[in-house]
Amino acid sequence: MSSRGRRRARTVAAGALVLIAAACASTDGVTTDSASARTSTVPTTTEAPAPSEASEASEPSTTDAAPEPTDSGSRSAPDSSGAPTTSEPGQAAAQPIPGSPGTSIDWRRVDEQHDEGTLLVPVDYRDPSLGNFRLYLVRRRANDQDSKIGSLLINPGGPGASGAEFARGARFILAPELLDRFDVIGWDPRGTYNSAPAIDCIDDYDQYLTGVDITPDTPEDRQLNIDRAKQLEDLCVEKNGPILQHVGTNDSARDMDAIRRALGEEKISYFGFSYGSELGATWATLFPDTVRAAVFDGAKDPNADSLDWARQQRVGFEHTLDLYLDDCAQRTDCPFHNGGRTGEAFDELMGEIDAHPLPTRTGRPDLTRGMALQGVAMAMYEDALWDQLSDALADAQRGDGDGLLMLYDAYFERKPDGTWPNLLEAFQVIDCMDSADRPTIEEYDASALEIARVAPRFSPNTVGSYDCAWFPPSEQPRIPITGAGAGPIVVIGTTGDPATPLVGTEAMAAALQDGRLVVVDADQHTGYGTNRCIVDRVHDYLIDLDVPPKTSEC
C-alpha cells in the first residue's frame, strides 16, 4: 500500500477546516491497504515528579496498576459509561463523572498483546471538585519487555480522532523496531469517542451537512446556511455546557501529563501525527521537564491565524488535486481521462453538480457540490484512493453520485448502520474552544472569497462556514507554543502535504526552542514510513536519542 493509506488528515471543503490523521481502516465502500511499517524503542523510568506547569494545582504521584487478565481472549468492551451518548434538544448530555481524579490506570487484559484501561482526570484542573472525564486508553505491550525503554504515547490527530484505536492498530502504523522497545499507549482524548462524557451535538450529520450550499445564488439560500450553522452551534453549546470550556488542547495536554504520572514514568516519549503535533507541542511547552523524546509528523503553523491557516491548507489541497488530475490525464486507462482534458472535465462536472445535485442511493440525499468536493478531499490523502476517485467521477459524469457519496461517507466515518461517531462534533467544539477568534458572518464570507481566489478548484465557496460564530468566548485559548526547556523535538514535513503543507511544518519547527526539521520528498500527508531514510531518522532518535541536524532531508 502507499504510505498515504496509513494516515490521513482532513479538511472540510464545504465548511470548517478539519485536521485529522487516522489509522488505516476499511470503510464501507472505500478500500485502503494496510502496510507494514518499521519501528524502534527506550529505558524504563520509575518516579513521577509533580507537574512542571506552574499554574496547575499539584497532584499526587501515581503508579501503574497491574493489568488484570480477563476470562476471554477477545477484546473487552469499554465501560458503557465511556460510550458517546445522545440526548434530546434542551438536555445536557455531557455531565462530568463525580469522584476524585485517578492516581493509576485501571488496566484490563484484552489479549496477549493488548490492555485497555480508564483513568479519571479532572474536568477543570484548577478545580477538581467539578467532576471528571474518564479517559479510555489502549496499551500495546512492547514485544521485548526485558529491553523495553518505556512508554510511547501516540496521537493520530484531529482534534477528535481515536488514539485508543490508533494504539490497537499500532502494528499497521509503527515499525517493529518501535514495537519491540516501547509500550505503545493511545487514548481517546477528553470529549471524544469512548472517553466520557463525550461531546455530543447531533445524531444525524445529513441534516446539517448535506444541505449546505457552498455557492448560494440568493440571499435566502445564504440565510439557510447561516441558520443551519447557528442551530448546530447552539445545540453544541446547550448540550455540552458543563464541559465546553474544558475540552481544548491545553487540558488535553494536561491529561497527557496525568497519564505519564499514572504510568509512574519520570519522562516519557511521544509520537504525534497531524493535529497530534499541535497537541504534543502544547504538552512539551507546558511540561518540558517530562519530555524524553517527541516526534511531530505533519504539523500546522502554530502561529497562523484562522485565515492564514485556511489559505495554507486549501492551497495544499488544490495542489494535490491538480497532481491527481495531471496523473489521470497522462493515463489513457484512467476512467476520468476525458481525452486528457481532466481539469476542464472536472470543473464542468462540479458546475453541473452545483446546478443539479446528483441522485445517490435510496434513503440518502442527492449529492451537492460541497459533498462532492468533500469526497474528493478524502481521496487526496492517499494516492491509493485515486483510482476509486476516477471511477466515482466517471460515474458522476453519467449521472450517478453514489461513488462520490461513498468517499464522502468514509471521510466522516459513517457506519454501515447509518450512524456516525462524534468525530465532526468533537473537532468543531475543540477547534473553536482552542481559538480566541469569533469572526462575524461578514468576515467569514470575506475569508471564503479570498481563499477561493487562491484555490478556486478545491474551494470555490462564495460564503463562509460560520463554524465558530455562535460559540461563547474561550476561557483558555491554546497557549503559545515554544517547547522551551523540552530539548530537541523532531518535526517531519513532506514536500507535497495537502493537509499540513510544508510551510506550516517549517513554522512549527521554527517556533520550538529546539525544533529539528526533517523534510521528506513525497506528495502525501505525514512522512513516517515513506522511505527508509525517515524511518531510520525517527528510530535513531526515539530509541537511541540520536538527534538529527537542525534541518535535514529524506
Catalytic sites, residue numbers: 274, 497, 525
Label residues 363-399 b or e (16+ Cβ within 10 Å = b).
ebbebbbbbbbbbbbbbbbbbbbbbbbbebbbbbbee
Cα–Cα distance between 534 and 510 in angstroms, integer?
20
Rg (CA), the chain: 22
**Do 496 and 522 meet the contact criterion of CB atoms below 8 Å apart?**
yes
Cα–Cα distance between 485 and 177 in angstroms, integer?
28
**Do 263 and 105 meet the contact criterion of CB atoms below 8 Å apart?**
yes
Strand order in the sheet with 114-122: 106-109, 114-122, 132-140, 182-188, 150-155, 268-273, 291-297, 489-494, 515-520, 551-553
* Pairing verdict, β 489-494 and 515-520: parallel
Nearest residue to 269 via CA among 81, 545, 66: 545
Cell 524503542 appears where? 41
**Do 317 and 11 meet the contact criterion of CB atoms below 8 Å apart?**
yes
Please state the φ and ψ torsions of residue 309, each to the nearest 5 degrees: -65, -45
- Residue 185's DSSP bridge partners are 139, 153
Amino acid of residue 287? F
**Do 449 and 308 meet the contact criterion of CB atoms below 8 Å apart?**
no
Nearest residue to 526 via CA among 489, 488, 496, 482: 496
Q: How much of the chain is helix, strand and coil, in % rounded to 5?
A: 40, 15, 50
